[in-house]
A and B are shown apart, each in its own frame.
Chain A
Amino acid sequence: MVDKVLEKNAKQSAARPRKWEVNLKWLGVVPFFIFSLLFLILPSFNLLIGSFQDEAGNVTLANIGNLFQPFIFNSYWLSIQVSAVTALGGVIFGFGLAYASIRGGLPSWIRGGLMTFSGVASNFAGIPLAFAFIATLGRTGFITMLFKNVLGLNLYDAGFSLYTFWGLSLTYMYFQFPLMVLIIAPAIDGLKRQWREAAENLGANSFQYWRYVAFPILGPALLGAGVLLFGNAFGAYATAFALTGGTLNLVPIQIGAQIRGDVLHNPNLGYALAMGMVVIMAVSIGISMLLQRRTARWLQ
């Protein structure tokens, strides 16, 4: 009898602290989650809800449908084009540069220098970057004047302008390919030299090595990096704003204009515009993470 009571007491006293501990354990992460809820998740969720409502608050799909009206559809199309072109350019040029510095048989300080520079340049985005390109290729920029004075060629008369699609893409490349260098360097490091030697011993030439060994292994990494670069360009606002002053009809520029004043004459359409952007970003980052996980298996 006494034993039983004691046992029961012991059970209770053992159970009670454990229960407390469980509660306290979760208490430790509460501040972070409340903060994230208030300043990240709720604001995003709010836009999501808003994009499925009309101005009176009724549920509707009209905003989503309105995204396909020509003006808005064109802004998505232009943003997609800029992002795709700069992602492709970034992948090709960035990979070439990273590969040359890592496997090109060059002195190791070149790799160190490239990595440092890439770290700086991939973070050198926004307004100052636009300024730098205006000073380089603007109407009175350094290279523009060089062409005029040395070759007698006026780039702007010849049809070039920094404030157009190609000018913007060229500017975006300045942060795109350094990012590519940073992302792809570990994958190139993981490419074992023995694989190349093995391929050569079996009589493969350089093309065959790349076609049948290196690219199949690096493929997912390259694709994943490309998708990430796509998202990186898609979300950029400051650079485009400072360079073109809002003349190019890009999605971030449209959202910015909508925040400053209701240019779409329908706030809820603005929320849908923003949500469309989040969907594209989510898809691109999701794909790139999946692909990078796949490469990680090969490149231990």
Chain B
Amino acid sequence: MKKQRFWPIMMILLGAIYFLLPLFATFEFSLRERRGVYSFDSYNNVLGDPQFRDSFIYSVVLGLATIAVSLILIVPTAFWVHLKLPQLRPVMEFITLLPFVVPPIVLVFGLIRIYSRPPFVLVSTPALLVAGYVVLSFPYMYRAVDTGLRAIDVRSLTEAAQSLGAGWLTILFRIIFPNLRVSLLNGAFLTFAIVLGEFTMATMLNWPTFGPYLALIGQNRAYEPAALAIISFGLTWICIGLIQLLSRGSQEQGQLAGTR
């Protein structure tokens, strides 16, 4: 038994070192701002920087907008497809998988090409960035909603509500949304984590979000980037931690990460 456990333990140790060493090193590095002594100066500098606050709030607002649009677009559609148009399911799966095939750098290229000239000049509004983020959220949001819908009896719930006189909006907002709460929160947190650190599309479309701010600090400062990396890691951890807390007890573990 002991011999059998040797390799697994070595493996886990090796993994833990590879996982934790960069985090520890980054943390140590972020404390080096003041010469010869550890201090939280770099964190103070970052948190006190008005640009940090502005870009962070900007990204949070964009993230919330993305989640709202994504939910409004995907939940009714997925519900409707489940209930009335099951033959469309492969099509939905295909479309919501496409954002993995068309990476952000290519998608933003296409968006700029179409929407920087008449008839639709959208590059001058953040709406285009939100639209791009909604597309990025498709795989996560649709998968979350789809698994959620599979777990409940959509047809019976809908028919029961209808026989009690409920209209479609009532069904959607008072039956489907509450029943999918956990799935929707899963999709929402993942989307939020992605939008918060997104760099590629924001920088190409020239919006002052958190991602481009990080890149700017990376070019101009030595220790602040490390502090920002720790802060970002903490934020990602919170989003993913909340997801895992929510899905505790359910079998679903299917997380996918797309390319950034």
B contact patch SS? helix
CB-based contact B236/A116 at 8 Å? no
With A124-B232, A127-B215, A239-B260 known as contacts, the answer to whether A40 contacts B102 (CB < 8 A) is yes
- Which residues of B are found within 8 Å of A110, using beta-carbon distances? 12
Question: In the assembled complex, which residues on chain A have CB atoms less than 8 Å from the CB atom of B134?
Answer: 35, 39
In the bound complex, what is the Cα–Cα distance between A96 and B108 (angstroms)?
Answer: 37
- Asked whether A97 and B15 contact (CB < 8 A) given A47-B110, A277-B103, the answer is yes
Asked if B15 and A114 make an inter-chain contact with CB atoms under 8 angstroms apart, the answer reads yes
Residues of chain A with a CB closer than 8 A to B204's CB:
256, 259-260
Q: What are the interface flags for B90-104 relative to A under an 8 Å C-beta threshold, 1 for contact and 0 otherwise?
A: 000001011111111
Nearest CB of chain B from residue A242's CB, rounded to whole Å: 6
Q: Are A236 and B260 in contact (CB under 8 A)?
A: yes
CA distance in complex: A129, B111 (Å) = 27
**Alpha-carbon distance between A93 and B163 when the two chains are bound, in angstroms:** 55
Q: Check if B38 is an interface residue, CB within 8 A of chain A.
A: no
Among B8, B138, B200, contact of A104 (Cβ-Cβ < 8 Å): B8
Which residues of A sit under 8 angstroms from B233, Cβ to Cβ?
A: 120, 124, 128, 132
- Shortest C-beta distance, A266 to chain B (Å), equals 14
Shortest C-beta distance, B41 to chain A (Å), equals: 15
Query: Any chain B CB within 8 A of the CB of A100?
Result: yes
Contact status A136-B26, CB under 8 Å: yes
**CA separation between A26 and B85, bound complex, in Å?**
8
Q: Known contacts A39-B131, A124-B233, A127-B218: does B101 contact A281 (CB below 8 Å)? A: yes
Given A123-B257, A131-B218, also A47-B132 (CB < 8 A)? no
Q: Are B12's CB and A259's CB within 8 A?
A: no
Task: Give the residues from 18 to 67 in chain A that come closer than 8 angstroms, CB to CB, to chain B.
Answer: 25-26, 28-29, 31-33, 35-36, 38-44, 46-47, 50
Given A106-B5, A135-B225, A278-B106, A123-B73 contact (CB < 8 Å): no
Whether the pair A237, B232 counts as a contact (CB closer than 8 A) is no
Kindly state the interface size class of chain A when it binds its partner: 35 or more
A104 touches B5 (CB 8 A): yes
Are B100 and A31 interface neighbours, CB within 8 A? Answer: no
Within 8 A of B (CB), among A72-119: 93, 96-97, 99-101, 103-106, 110, 114-117, 119
Complex contact B77–A28 (CB within 8 A): yes
Assess whether A32 is in contact with B74, with CB atoms less than 8 Å apart: yes
Contact with A along B175-206 (1 / 0, CB 8 A): 00000000000000010011001111000100
Residues in B whose Cβ lies below 8 Å from that of A41: 95, 98
Q: Are B215 and A242 in contact (CB under 8 A)?
A: yes
Residues of the B chain whose Cβ atoms lie less than 8 Å from the Cβ of A120: 233, 236-237, 240-241
Contact B95 A242 (CB under 8 A): no
* Structural contact, A44 and B100, CB atoms closer than 8 A: no
B147 within 8 A of A: no
Contacting chain B: which of A3-11, A191-199, A209-217, A227-235? Answer: A227-235
Which residues of B line the A interface, CB within 8 A? Answer: 1, 4-5, 7-9, 11-12, 15, 18-19, 21-26, 28-30, 73-74, 76-77, 80-81, 84-85, 88, 95, 97-114, 131-132, 134-135, 138, 190, 193-194, 197-200, 204, 211, 214-215, 218, 225-226, 228-229, 232-233, 236-237, 239-241, 243-244, 253, 255-260
Q: Would you list the 3 A-B pairs with minimal beta carbon distance, nearest first?
A: A104-B8, A43-B110, A235-B103
